[in-house]
């Protein structure tokens, strides 16, 4: 079996035509979806980038791998202790290792391991190429024109062989929106999405938070204040969101990045066709996380455990795939067991995921009763997604204006504007009960030695989200070089009340 996995950074599904978007951002992806299975409720269990891909490749929730943050102890995979096997074989293996041990050639074209020092995702990968070696020093944020040629070369050399797995990571939808100016703007004369309205923008400007309406380029980050990408270097984006016109300029930057990436994805499909294996290859397209574009007053980032950050596209096309939409609830931790199932490879008993291979080949939708989603790099949150509901429990707000418990009806309120936790207390309580049930099950598994590290290591019994809080809070929000400058900025921009509240909470 041949498997091409296209990993698109920061790609929210509702900005793809095959998921109902009104702009033509994704003609090649849409063509793939026409003959494939399209999953509409597929979520990253742990966000953002590092926790998400760690869970994807290891098949384990962040509460077991220990990776829920982008810095500190909760950014490293836990030691397996005395039960660690030689070369990480046996029960602890990643799904690429399982494929490799079954005779597959495994490859990855991605700068992600370098960008996050995430060497554990290379476990079982035989061929790794880091496109950032050819880039201009921006720390692994290379555009598609650097990534695709390497992938095309690998495919031309190997596509005709049997039994291979290739993962290709594209960055373009991620901030900063820096698609080459000569590419133009295909959406210049097209309307932007209807959300957010002028009233929503006005209310958001009175609030605060990194990458909120008045601070969309962050603060104390590499994107401003002398970083690699200051505002003057980003001609596709406004300096802040003050109107619908500003939002259109902003969202055009995002959508152009998606379209630019789609062009290069189409080039990979052309190579498969030239090699005569397109119809015989499983082509999978997904993302590490989605992207908030005004939801919870976050623009162009992935800072919460909400629907827009954690929901990602999943399209599977290939031999034996039953085309159509799948609405069941699934995690990215379910992907490894699914690939093992389709490839006839034995899964690891340590994997926390469940195979949804039947949903791909037989159209059996199925899905889980509910999902629990996590965030630990910008805020500390866990959320429960079930039926049409999303309940978000916030343990550490980072530098954002968030309530401890929020409840949203995603069917009537997809952009999470109306918190119903007080109007629907029974529903909110149901979400809390589901979260407590999940937490008890995960900690029980850790105590019984069914998690990723040894039961003789007491670290297994510590929820890494609490470790993040003990270390001072989520990495991106609580760095000293971010908090103090941002508090000063709030005072300078007439938001003294918020500045004083943050200073009292975070600098005491």
pTM of the entire predicted model: 0.95
Reported as a single tens digit per residue, the pLDDT across 196-212 is 999 999 999 999 999 99
Q: Is the pLDDT of residue 508 over 70?
A: no
Counting the structural domains of the chain, the total is: 1
Q: Is residue 86 part of a domain?
A: no
What rounded mean pLDDT belongs to the chain? 92
Identify the pLDDT of residue 179. 95
- What does the pLDDT read at residue 256? 98
Mind giving me the DSSP string for 136-169?
-SSSS---HHHHHHHHHHHHHHHTTSSSEEEEEE
- Within a domain: residue 95? no
C-alpha dihedral sign at 418, 424, 427, 431 = positive
Between the ranges 53-57, 85-89, 483-487, where is the mean pLDDT highest? 53-57
Q: Is residue 36 assigned to a domain?
A: yes
Look at residue 506 and tell me whether its pLDDT is greater than 90. no
**Between the CA atoms of 192, 197, 203 and 208, what dihedral angle is there, to the nearest 10 degrees?**
-20
Q: Measured between alpha carbons, how far is 400 from 490 in angstroms, rounded to an integer?
A: 12
User: For the chain, what percent of residues have pLDDT higher than 90?
Assistant: 80
CB within 8 A of 133, min separation 6: which ones? Answer: none
**Cβ-contact 32, 269 below 8 angstroms:** yes
For residues 296-307, average pLDDT: 97
d(CA 448, CA 106): 32
pLDDT at 78 over 70: yes
Stretch 328-355: mean pLDDT:
94
In whole angstroms, give the CA distance from residue 273 to residue 279. Answer: 8
pLDDT at 220: 55
Lowest mean pLDDT among 2-16, 182-196, 348-362: 348-362
Residue 507 binned pLDDT confidence (cut-offs 50, 70, 90): low
pLDDT at 62 over 70: yes
The predicted pLDDT at position 204 comes to 97
pLDDT value for 93: 85
Report d(CA 247, CA 260) in Å as an integer.
20
Q: Where are the alpha helices (DSSP H) in 14-134?
A: 27-34, 49-58, 62-65, 95-101, 112-116
Averaged pLDDT for residues 255-271: 98
* CB contact at 8 A, 112 and 132: no
H helix count then E strand count, the chain: 16, 16
Q: What range defines the domain where residue 482 resides? A: 2-79+104-506
Cα separation, 254 vs 260, whole angstroms: 10
> Does residue 69 fall inside a structural domain?
yes
Digit-coded pLDDT (tens) for 208-231: 999 999 999 887 544 444 334 444
The pair of three-digit structure tokens given for residue 14, joined into one six-digit string: 């509702």
377 vs 89, which has greater pLDDT?
377
Q: Is 228 in contact with 222 (CB distance < 8 Å)?
A: yes
CB 70 within 8 A of CB 398: no
99 in any annotated domain: no
Question: By three-state DSSP, how is residue 37 classified?
Answer: strand
Residue 182 lies in a domain: yes
Residue 83 predicted with pLDDT over 80:
no
pLDDT score at 418: 98
Structural domain contains residue 97: no
- Please state, in angstroms and rounded to a whole number, the distance separating the CA atoms of residues 418 and 410: 10
Report pLDDT for 90. Answer: 64
Question: Which CATH number fits the domain that encloses residue 27?
Answer: 3.40.720.10
Residue 490's H or E segment, with its range, is helix 480-492
Q: Looking at per-residue confidence, does 154 or 231 come out higher? A: 154
pLDDT over 70 percentage in the chain = 93
By C-alpha distance, which of 110, 75, 51, 77 is closest to 309?
Answer: 51
Does residue 98 lie within any of the structural domains?
Answer: no
Taking the C-alpha atoms of residue 214 and residue 241, their distance in angstroms, rounded to an integer, is 6
Q: Is residue 151's pLDDT more than 60?
A: yes
């Amino acid at each position: 079996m041949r498997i091409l996995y296209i990993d698109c950074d920061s790609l929210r599904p509702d900005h793809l035509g095959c998921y109902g978007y009104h702009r033509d951002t994704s003609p090649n992806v849409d063509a793939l979806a026409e003959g494939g299975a399209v999953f509409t409720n597929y979520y990253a269990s742990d966000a953002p980038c590092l926790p998400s891909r760690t869970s994807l490749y290891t098949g384990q929730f962040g509460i077991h791998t220990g990776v829920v943050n982008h810095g500190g102890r909760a950014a490293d995979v836990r030691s397996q202790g005395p039960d660690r096997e030689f070369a990480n074989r046996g029960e602890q293996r990643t799904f690429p290792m399982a494929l490799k041990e079954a005779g597959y050639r495994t490859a990855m074209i991605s700068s992600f391991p370098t960008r996050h020092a995430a060497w554990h995702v290379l476990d079982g990968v035989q061929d790794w190429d880091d496109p950032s070696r050819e880039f201009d020093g921006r720390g692994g944020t290379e555009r598609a024109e650097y990534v695709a040629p390497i992938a095309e070369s690998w495919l031309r050399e190997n596509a005709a062989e049997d039994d291979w797995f290739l993962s290709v990571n594209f960055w373009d939808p991620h901030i900063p929106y820096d698609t080459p100016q000569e590419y133009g703007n295909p959406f210049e004369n097209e309307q932007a999405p209807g959300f957010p309205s002028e009233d929503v923008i006005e209310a958001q400007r009175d609030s605060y938070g990194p990458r909120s309406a008045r601070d969309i380029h962050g603060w104390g980050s590499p994107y401003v204040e002398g970083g690699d990408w200051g505002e003057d270097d980003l001609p596709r984006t406004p300096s802040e969101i003050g109107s619908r016109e500003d939002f259109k300029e902003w969202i055009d930057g995002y959508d152009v990045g998606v379209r630019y990436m789609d062009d290069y994805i189409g080039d990979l499909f052309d190579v498969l066709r030239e090699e005569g294996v397109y119809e015989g290859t499983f082509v999978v397209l997904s993302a590490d996380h989605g992207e908030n574009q005004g939801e919870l007053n976050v623009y162009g980032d992935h800072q919460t455990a909400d629907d827009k950050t954690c929901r990602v596209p999943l399209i599977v096309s290939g031999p034996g795939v039953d085309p159509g939409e799948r609405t069941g609830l699934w995690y990215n931790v379910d992907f490894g067991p699914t690939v093992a199932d389709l490839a006839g490879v034995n899964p690891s008993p340590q994997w926390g995921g469940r195979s949804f291979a039947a949903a791909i080949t037989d159209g059996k939708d199925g899905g889980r009763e509910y999902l629990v989603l996590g965030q630990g790099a910008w805020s500390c949150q866990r959320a429960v997604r079930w039926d049409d509901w999303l309940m978000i429990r916030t343990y550490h707000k980072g530098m954002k204006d968030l309530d401890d418990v929020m409840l949203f009806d995603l069917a009537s309120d997809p952009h999470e504007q109306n918190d119903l936790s007080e109007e629907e207390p029974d529903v909110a309580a149901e979400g809390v009960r589901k979260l407590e049930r999940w937490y008890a099950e995960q900690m029980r598994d850790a105590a019984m030695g069914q998690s990723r590290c040894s039961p003789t290591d007491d670290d297994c019994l510590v929820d890494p989200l609490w470790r993040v809080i003990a270390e001072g809070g989520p990495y991106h929000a609580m760095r000293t070089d971010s908090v103090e400058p941002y508090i000063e900025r709030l005072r300078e921009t007439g938001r003294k009340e918020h500045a004083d509240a943050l200073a009292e909470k975070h600098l005491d």
